[in-house]
Amino acid sequence: MRFVPQFTDGQEFPHALGKVVCVGRNYADHAKELDNPVPTEPLLFIKPATSVVDLAKPLDPPFSRGEVHFEAELALLIGETLTHATLEEAERAVVGIGLAMDLTLRDLQTKLKQNGHPWETAKAFDGACPLSAFLPLSRVPNWNALTFTLEIDGELRQHGEGADMLFAIPSLVAEMSRHFTLEPGDVVLTGTPSGVGELPRGAALKLTLTGGLEVNTSVVE
């Protein structure tokens, strides 16, 4: 059953889930920890709607295909159609903010990159994008004041701040709209901070976001 976007206050979202547009290496420290160059423009890729699952339910990634790595990210829900948007149009089109995990089959991704092949199979598989409900924008401070965290078995593993993004949210969404028309129901993932690593089987996960969003979930054994 396909994930349905929801708001934390019970408000209904009138559109079906669309594509998920992602950016790689939007935090300099994360690029460095993977020994990748810090980009000078956003590195964009897409996950299909079929990759999205409910973050609040136990995560069941395909461990049989190699190491699964976690990447916690801020997620933006798009409420208006955007094509070649201005910064103001891009900011106005965001109607909710939540949390997501960009799950990655790291062994497979590394092999594909070494061979110069596309790596959608390492990033866009079924279940690759666990996603939370969305806070309405009334609960969200300015973009730079946003903070989010990921704890695994009680240990802080990732801490991200909007102010540390290489490409700030309005400019990132506007840039995405130059390449892919964004439609109501699409979701934007904004990149992960440093601290990524292998997702442990059976682990307890806790994710938090400024504005009162907290998600407690787990990983299957």
**Residue type at 204 in one-letter notation:** A
* Helices and strands in the chain: count of H runs, count of E runs: 5, 15
Nearest to 157, CA basis, from 77, 101, 213 = 101
Identify the H or E element spanning 174: helix 169-179
DSSP code for 40: S
Region 20-218: CATH code: 3.90.850.10
Q: Are 196 and 30 in contact (CB under 8 A)?
A: yes
Every domain of the chain and the residues it spans:
20-218
CA 49 to chain CA mean position, Å: 13
pLDDT in the model for residue 193:
94
* pLDDT, block means (10 residues), the chain with 221 residues: 88 94 87 68 95 98 96 97 97 96 95 92 97 89 90 97 93 97 98 95 97 96 91
User: Distance between alpha carbon 42 and the CA centroid of its chain, in Å?
Assistant: 14
Given this model, what pLDDT does residue 144 score? 87
